[in-house]
Amino acid sequence: DAGITQSPRHKVTETGTPVTLRCHQTENHRYMYWYRQDPGHGLRLIHYSYGVKDTDKGEVSDGYSVSRSKTEDFLLTLESATSSQTSVYFCAIRGRKNTEAFFGQGTRLTVV
């Protein structure tokens, strides 16, 4: 299994509070991605990174920011959580030699 860990695995937070989700990899892969999964929508890309300090927006980036100061860590921040951001969040990594992405276990975030 690819060495990719998401934390926390579950979180309940209140509307308006900031939340940071962490993705940590031990594979030294260049590419990292954050997706959200919602019923009826599949996986939608939030942000992705193609190297340290190199990030780009996905299709549902509003309300989210990311940072990647080290190859192994990719942080997703909800600046002010809203109920519409209740979802399961997945991190994925992809190496230069790989065609496919490897996924973390997912984080279930509930905003109340």
The answer to whether residue 53 forms part of the interface with another protein (CB under 8 A) is: no
**Binder of another protein out of 19, 23, 92, 93 (CB under 8 A):** 92
Pairing of β 87-94 and β 31-38 = antiparallel
The answer to whether residue 31 forms part of the interface with another protein (CB under 8 A) is: yes
CB of 12 to another protein, least distance (A): 17
Burial of 57 by CB count in 10 Å (0-12 exposed, 13-18 middle, 19+ buried)?
Answer: middle
User: Could you tell me which stretch among 10-18, 20-28, 35-43, 69-77 binds another protein (CB under 8 A)?
Assistant: 35-43
- Nearest CA-CA partner of 37 in 1, 71, 100, 86: 86
User: Could you tell me which stretch among 13-21, 62-70, 74-82, 94-102 binds another protein (CB under 8 A)?
Assistant: 94-102
